[in-house]
Chains A and B, each alone.
Chain A
Amino acid sequence: MNENVLEKLKILAESARYDVSCSSSGTSRSNKKGTIGSAAGWGICHSFAEDGRCISLLKIMLTNSCIYDCAYCINRRSNDIPRATLSVSELVDLTIEFYRRNYIEGLFLSSGIVRNPDYTMERLVRIVKDLRQVHRFNGYIHMKSIPGASEELVQEAGLYADRLSVNIEIPKEESLKILAPEKDFQSVFAPMRYIQQGVLQSAEDRKRFRHAPRFAPAGQSTQMIVGATPETDKDILWVSSALYKRPTMKRVYYSGFVPVNAYDNRLPALKQPPLVRENRLYQADWLLRFYQFKVEEIVDDAYPHLDLEVDPKLAWALRHPEHFPVDINKADYEMILRVPGIGVKSAQLIVVSRRHGRLGTEQLKKIGIVMKKAQYFITCNELTMQSVQDLRPENVRRLLVQKNNRKQDDRQLILPFADQE
């Protein structure tokens, strides 16, 4: 280990940073004698970078050299950027020494494609195997499964990694083929299927043999780039929803497109990444996973894009005033979950607390409900406020959107320049 590594680390971290996945959750594994570390089932963020994103794992590429030429990727072969490759011992040392200092939960290993998918995948597998078997590393490992890699290698990777992931990147195949001519959906979905089979097979084996090896216990995840191609939010969310129906898909990440290759005119010229849209997609994703929404309730042909002004749950409520107001003291949990301003935890608190007595506004506020939003959608013990039905949705919308924009100082004259946000 020497100063040389500093430069390599810089290059390879900068190449790896566009992968948004950071989670270290899904595997709970306590320390065993003779091993290093443990895995905390809930995941731990150890730091937050200047962009506010969580740093949980040492997210790094083995090499940023790549034979592919994907238009959206910083590491495409036609880019003239510094290239580096870490040796196995360097990577192992970095992981273990960072881990011992409580900097990280483990390793997130990815790589550019060298020679061919299988060759690359084999190198990744070898490192992960080394970490586990020679160095007895017991922390979290997330490994990228290389698109196009063979089933045998994916099967082997799953024995050492906690989570495997293959990125879809582009939600529609025709767009993917334009931007990444070397890839197709087959090369992405095949490894996904191998991972799924591995996980299900291992679960089945473990029912019969308690010590049968675990396979990628934290399942798999994937990512889609938002804003690089003309796909609508509907296209994106329908893909996510279909993926979540598969048994092992734990997370779909959305990555607001950062124009790293501005010269490539197959890509839109964005002044900054579409962060609001990305945020709305995550909110919609939460509705799918934790709020029992169906994808067609969030986006459909009439509303193919998420509303950028209001969150998707509020947008749904405004489109469906007939379901409101909801009686907090009587309604089902499922319906309380759908009230804008009430989250999963508050909904659970409401349901357990109302057994002891009827709840009023004051108690709801203390429980943590955002009354500014919720007031138009609920009735409770003493509340006689105007509901979304009395006020009409468009007026409620105006009231709620105005509140957020009040920060502007109206004593100040503002000249509307064309390019102002």
Chain B
Amino acid sequence: MNIFIYDKTLEGLLTSVFDAYARKTFPDRLLEEGEPLPLFYDEVYTVTTDEEKANRVWRALEKKLSKVALSMITVSWLSELPEIDSLLFRYIRKNIDAPRAIEMNFGDPDVLELSKIWKKVGREKERMGQFLRFQKAADGTFFAAMEPLYNVLPLNISFLKDRFADQKWLVYDLKREYGYYYDLTEVIEVRFEEKEQHLLTGLLNEELMDKDEKLFQQLWKQYFRSIAIKERTNPKLQRQHMPVRFWKYLTEKQ
């Protein structure tokens, strides 16, 4: 069994692909530095992430694959699933080896699996766009927090920047403990050493709120109650479209 050790970045993975073809040995398992090695193995090779090598692999893929297939690779990477790196390695290798790209062969288990993960991550991204709720703070910044299943925050930045272009905002991932702040000109990634309460609960304290914030929250809750038709009450359908895991941070569900 061949083992490659790399730094668990996408660049590192692409470098592994480069090195594998250069060495003509292919990994049976991809491990992160520090992870315990399996009981039996033939060879361990440690990959040193190299931007130039990664770029060369990427350019080769750009020549062979469609834009959609390329986005499948980068987007699925954000799923952070434990097996995603070996799946992507196999997918890239199959595409390189085949005379023409196999991205449309959904009869291949790896292609189908990758397209499913890609869809799941895309769905989660979409849900973030749906269920993110801003609360206006006294200093005028709009704050929203969430715990998405996958690391989809970066995928929503261009949408948020376009839509909320004339207001300052901070969007925060509570699970991965980082966020993005927009100051009316650019978006920057932010991390906080010390976490105030709203960075733990996702909800602003009343003393931090803008003076009208409470009122608009009340209005929205009232609207949410009034728009439902009593005779058609269907909690199952509601939960199907809006899974309960999002309710914690939904204004109308507080």
The minimal Cβ–Cβ distance linking B17 to chain A, given in whole angstroms, is 23
Q: A58-B223, A356-B104 are in contact. Are A103 and B133 (CB under 8 A)?
A: yes
**Which chain A positions have C-beta within 8 A of B231?**
258, 272-273
Task: State whether B134 touches A9 (Cβ < 8 A).
Answer: no
Give bound CA distance, A343 to B140, whole Å. 47
**Which chain A positions have C-beta within 8 A of B41?**
none
Closest to B215 in A: A1
**Which chain B positions have C-beta within 8 A of A1?**
212, 215
CB within 8 A of B105: which of A6, A13, A44, A353?
A353
CB within 8 A of B108: which of A18, A30, A33, A356?
A356
Give bound CA distance, A204 to B32, whole Å. 60
**Contact string, A1-37, partner B, CB cutoff 8 A, digits 1/0?**
1110110011001101110000000000011011111
Which of B102, B215, B222, B231 counts the most chain A CB atoms within 10 A? B231
CB within 8 A of B134: which of A36, A102, A256?
A102
The minimal Cβ–Cβ distance linking B232 to chain A, given in whole angstroms, is 4
CB within 8 A of B220: which of A30, A101, A354?
A101
**Which chain B positions have C-beta within 8 A of A101?**
133-136, 142, 216, 220, 251
- Total cross-chain contacts (CB, 8 A): 156
Which of A10, A256, A356 counts the most chain B CB atoms within 10 A? A356
The interface of chain A, by Cβ under 8 A from chain B, is 1-3, 5-6, 9-10, 13-14, 16-18, 30-31, 33-38, 40, 44-55, 58-59, 94, 97-98, 100-103, 256, 258, 272-273, 275, 349, 352-357, 359, 363, 366-367
Interface size on B, residues (CB 8 A): 55
7 CB < 8 A contacts A-B: A44-B129, A48-B237, A49-B227, A51-B232, A54-B241, A102-B164, A356-B102
CB within 8 A of B228: which of A51, A58, A272?
A51
Task: State whether B131 touches A46 (Cβ < 8 A).
Answer: yes
**Which chain A positions have C-beta within 8 A of B224?**
47, 49, 55
Task: State whether B134 touches A31 (Cβ < 8 A).
Answer: no
**Contact string, B10-33, partner A, CB cutoff 8 A, digits 1/0?**
000000000000000000000000
CB within 8 A of A5: which of B106, B144, B219, B229?
B219
CB within 8 A of A50: which of B104, B105, B166, B228?
B228
Which chain B residues in 131-162 approach chain A with CB under 8 Å? 131-136, 142, 144, 159, 162
The minimal Cβ–Cβ distance linking A22 to chain B, given in whole angstroms, is 10
Give bound CA distance, A100 to B217, whole Å. 12
Task: State whether A94 touches B219 (Cβ < 8 A).
Answer: yes
Task: State whether A103 touches B251 (Cβ < 8 A).
Answer: yes
**Which chain B positions have C-beta within 8 A of A33?**
165
